[in-house]
Amino acid sequence: MKRLTFSFDNGPWPGATEPLLDFLARRSIKATFFVVGQRLQEPGGIELARRAHAEGHWIGNHTLTHTKPLGEDGGLARVEREIGETERLIGELAHPHRFFRPNGGGAVGPHLLSAEALGYLARNRYSVVTWTSAPGDWIAPHRPWLDNAIRDVERSDWTLLVLHDRFIAPMLDTLDRFLDELATRGIEIVQDLPPACLVMRDGVVTGDRSTFSIMGEAGRQAAAQ
């Protein structure tokens, strides 16, 4: 049976995360929310993360500022701030495996993480989570994400889908249609993460070499130190 895991990035967003959480509760779906540290510092931000956690969703780290990817500007001082400060803000809400997702415009590649970032993540026992589908719910006119996601699901036995609180909340009717389509195709929705998307687990690089395309040889060496 094919499987699909939901993840939501860049939040929390007051006014958007609440209806999304209501929707997920109605549909009995558990997801992972990869939060941005600065969003946690905004009014209502940490409360929304606490609500998501209390309702059984997992909380992951998605950098402090969500600006230039760490593979493009990833010196140690910036890495410590972007990852470490966000983890401090997440605090007790963090998943035991300390999930971290790099930002990079929806594309997997060497721009995501520098060697310094990988070394920091390894030393501090983070688990790095990528994805198999980023269908573009943030790209106007937004609703074509549905067809893109369905195509991605067709290509994969286990899809890890990236959506965004801010953009999907006004399209919950489209998300409802997507869930109906998954049911029609017999696709199981799970909270677990596909092993292929866990390129580092508790600070240890996992999987075969093809999984590490985001790392490069320098990154692999740094992560092994």
Residue 128 structure tokens: 């790095």
Q: Is 9 assigned a catalytic role?
A: yes
Rounded to 5 degrees, what are φ and ψ at 13? Answer: -125, 105
Q: Is 208 assigned a catalytic role?
A: no
Residue 177 burial by Cβ neighbours in a 10 Å radius (0-12, 13-18, 19+)? middle
Q: Amino acid letter at 195?
A: P
- Rounded to whole angstroms, what are the CA distances from 1 to 157, 161, 167, 191, 207? 8, 17, 29, 15, 22
Contacts of 202 (CB under 8 A, 6+ apart): 97, 98, 125, 126, 127
Q: What is the DSSP string of 15-43?
A: TTHHHHHHHHHHTT---EEEE-HHHHHST
Q: Which of 9, 137, 152, 165 is catalytic?
A: 9
Q: Which of 62, 111, 164, 165 is catalytic?
A: 164
The catalytic residues are 9, 164
